[in-house]
Amino acid sequence: MAYEAKGKAYAPYSRFPVGAALLASSGRIYQGCNIENASLGLSVCAERVALWKAVSEGEREFIALAVVGGELAACFPCGACRQVLVEFAPDLEIITGQPGQRLLVCSLKELLPETFTFKEK
Ligand code: THU
């Protein structure tokens, strides 16, 4: 589904389409793609589009996120997306790769240890 979402990317400036598929604990999967803008700083990553779609539909807990970026063998979420994801899903599993190829799996905690939070640790 992340690959399918990549097909909907709007990336005329970078020409780097990204697709994401976010599995919520409800069982629903939310797709996202990167959406760029001529004012480049307003562009948004596929991962955040998927998360915001899900949260705005009432989801609050997530299990896994798949990401497909361009033709890369692996495309992990950028730093900004990691921080946004950890707000809702500190135990998220991240899967990246290309269809029919070897997938890489890791945890969001591995990608973003010692996260900023208001909660006492
Ligand atoms: N991009 C994503 O959508 N997700 C990532 O994890 C990395 C980068 C997008 C942002 C921009 O539209 C393009 O890829 C190039 O940076």
Segment 66-86, tens digit of pLDDT: 999 999 999 999 999 999 999
The answer to whether the beta carbons of residues 104 and 69 sit under 8 Å apart is: no
Domain boundaries, position 97: 2-111
pTM of the entire predicted model: 0.95
Q: Name the β-bridge partners of 31.
A: 21
**116 assigned to some structural domain:** no
Which residues in the chain show pLDDT less than 70? 121
CA atoms within 13 A on the CB side of 37: 7
Give residue 119's pLDDT: 77
CA 18 – ligand 1 centroid, Å: 6
CA 53 – ligand 1 centroid, Å: 17
At CA 112, angle to CA 74 and CA 62, rounded to 5?
A: 80
**78 assigned to some structural domain:** yes
**121 assigned to some structural domain:** no
Residue 16 near ligand 1, beta carbon < 6 Å: yes
Nearest to 65 by CA among 13, 11, 22, 104: 22
3-state secondary structure of 69: strand
Number of domains in the chain: 1
**69 assigned to some structural domain:** yes
**30 assigned to some structural domain:** yes
The gap between the terminal CA atoms of the chain, to the nearest Å, is 35
**117 assigned to some structural domain:** no
Give residue 100's pLDDT: 94
**58 assigned to some structural domain:** yes
CATH no. for residue 84? 3.40.140.10
**67 assigned to some structural domain:** yes
Give residue 22's pLDDT: 98
Give residue 121's pLDDT: 64
